[in-house]
Amino acid sequence: MGELKATIDPKEVGLSAERLARIDDHFRHYVNDGRLPGYTVAVARYGQVAYLATYGMRDVENAKPTTLDTIYRIYSMTKPITSLALMMLVEEGKLQITDPVANFIPSFANLRVFTGGSSLKPITAPAREPMRVWHLLTHTSGMTYGFNYFDAVDDIYRRSGFEFGIGSWPSLAEACDNFAKLPLCFEPGTSWNYSVSTDVVGRIVEVVSGMTLDDFFATRILGPLGMRDTAFYVPEDKADRLAALYQYDASTGGKTLVEAATKMASRQPRSLSGGGGLYSTSYDYWRFLQMLENGGELDGVRIASPTTLDLMTMNHLPGNTDITTFGRTLGEEVFYDGLGFGLGFSVVVDQARTRVACPSGTYGWGGMASTAFWVDPVEEITATFYTQLLPSTTHPIRPYLRSLVYQSIIE
């Protein structure tokens, strides 16, 4: 177990302590008026933690305060870890991201694309080109999430038991084989749509490495980085540190407890979700982010080459366009204007179009329970925010956090 600590006076890294305090001043209102249970927020510059704050409760009903060792469901913040796992195998010459997905999961050889009809009577046609690994990493595969509620294919996913990711299939292999039976929203590579693609990436990691996804994570990433509290479930000896999960209550404007989530956390899942299955802490995930910021190395342990991370954190959408232009802007509480997508990360490609104070080249993502992170290689800023509220679209957390962090820069 580790705890995140502030390691430097803000002014030594060109930040104003007085201005940083505005972050806590702002988000305390979210807790005090009942919108959030509690939170942890951290900001670093030049690799040094300059600001760290916790407030509120990790478990409101049992009066347990938010602490620096609180364990959170990070949901889609799992995706960068899974994407990096696959790129580590690329570094070893085990595959190329241009390889067809069917090379590793044969059921993906005969994909079909939705062309009309309804979710009950879909009209489909054979995909003209094979889905490739890079389509999965960039969310241009044509797959979707059932919770998108955009078109008939989303509804087909829901009716097939895939409303929130991979569901409870007996194995990740079986879940992926069932994904392959569902129609694609579009031809691979022709648009962007947030989807279960990274779960399929996790299955490719298993096939290529010969290891289960949790074993690969533990031996190749989490263990070497000292991320001791990050896993696909929360064991009994750590259960007291787990944050309760809440959901927005439209009738009151407040939140309600998702009771089943605590029980679910204690069980090793049958299907390991590389798209959203991990639990982690602010300290653990910080170590992952510091490794990224350091070009793939932390405390003498090298996870990946800086050239691999450069490839992952550049925009891979055609013509260096943004998601608004190329894709379906659905759901997540992020800006899409000026935001492209790399191999597992969003990336700012046009700061002016984002209308948010963060430089082009900044990369990051967030999770369904309103967690978020970003790494800014220009100003050398890294920031993270943790809470547990579904969905992440409920309250404007991420844009305000960016504004509040960047206004604190004085040098």
**pLDDT band, residue 14 (cuts 50/70/90):** very high
Residues 73 and 192 in one domain: no
Dist CA 130 CA 187 (whole Å): 9
* Per-residue pLDDT at 357: 87
Residue 3 lies in a domain: no
Let me know if 355 is exposed, middle or buried by CB neighbors in 10 A (0-12, 13-18, 19+): exposed
Domain count, the chain: 2
The pair of structure tokens assigned to 239 is: 């259960």
The pair of structure tokens assigned to 324 is: 């608004």
Task: Look at the chain and count its residues.
Answer: 411
Mean pLDDT in residue range 126-150:
96
Residues 121 and 243 in one domain: no
Mean pLDDT in residue range 86-112:
98
For the chain, helix, strand, coil in percent to 5 are 35, 20, 45
Residue 123 has pLDDT above 90, yes or no: yes
* 22-61 pLDDT tens trace: 999 999 999 999 999 999 999 999 999 999 999 999 999 9
Residue 87 lies in a domain: no
Residues 227 and 280 in one domain: yes
* Per-residue pLDDT at 141: 98
* Per-residue pLDDT at 334: 59
* Per-residue pLDDT at 261: 92
| 173, 188, 205 - which closes a domain | 205
Residues 228 and 341 in one domain: yes
* Per-residue pLDDT at 306: 98
**pLDDT band, residue 2 (cuts 50/70/90):** confident
Residue 270 lies in a domain: yes
* Per-residue pLDDT at 331: 55
What's the CATH code of the domain at 147? Answer: 1.20.58
Mean pLDDT across the chain:
95
* Per-residue pLDDT at 155: 95
* 324-343 pLDDT tens trace: 999 987 655 557 899 999 99
Residues 175 and 40 in one domain: no
Residue 281 lies in a domain: yes
∠ CA 261-266-268 to the nearest 5 degrees?
A: 110
CA distances from 56 to 35, 49, 181, 387 (A): 11, 21, 45, 10
Residues 123 and 259 in one domain: no
Residues 161 and 301 in one domain: no
* 339-379 pLDDT tens trace: 999 999 999 999 999 888 889 999 999 999 999 999 999 99
Q: Which domain holds residue 142?
A: 94-205
* 204-255 pLDDT tens trace: 999 999 999 999 999 999 999 999 999 999 999 999 999 999 999 988 888 9
Contact 138, 192 (CB under 8 A): yes
| Other beta carbons less than 10 A from residue 192's beta carbon | 26
Contact 345, 365 (CB under 8 A): yes
Contact 390, 248 (CB under 8 A): yes
Contact 125, 132 (CB under 8 A): no
Residue 134 has pLDDT above 90, yes or no: yes
What's the CATH code of the domain at 395? Answer: 3.40.710.10
Residue 230 lies in a domain: yes
Contact 224, 85 (CB under 8 A): no
| 174, 205, 236 - which closes a domain | 205
Up-side HSE of residue 308: CA atoms within 13 Å toward CB?
Answer: 24
> Would you list the DSSP string of 224-264?
TTT-TT-BSS--GGGGGGBPP-EEEETTTTEEEE-HHHHHH
Residue 135 lies in a domain: yes
* 245-302 pLDDT tens trace: 999 998 888 899 999 999 999 999 999 999 999 999 999 999 999 999 999 999 999 9
Residue 36 lies in a domain: yes
Residues 188 and 112 in one domain: yes
CA 317 to chain centre: 18
* 378-389 pLDDT tens trace: 999 999 999 999
Residues 376 and 244 in one domain: yes
Mean pLDDT in residue range 397-405:
94
Residue 137 lies in a domain: yes
> Would you list the DSSP string of 184-222?
BSS-TTSSB---THHHHHHHHHHHHHTS-HHHHIIIIII
| 182, 205, 228 - which closes a domain | 205
Residues 184 and 292 in one domain: no
CA distances from 54 to 282, 386, 393 (A): 11, 9, 22
Residues 140 and 25 in one domain: no
* Per-residue pLDDT at 109: 98
Torsional class of 149: left (φ above 0), alpha (ψ -120 to 50), beta (otherwise): left
Residues 193 and 233 in one domain: no
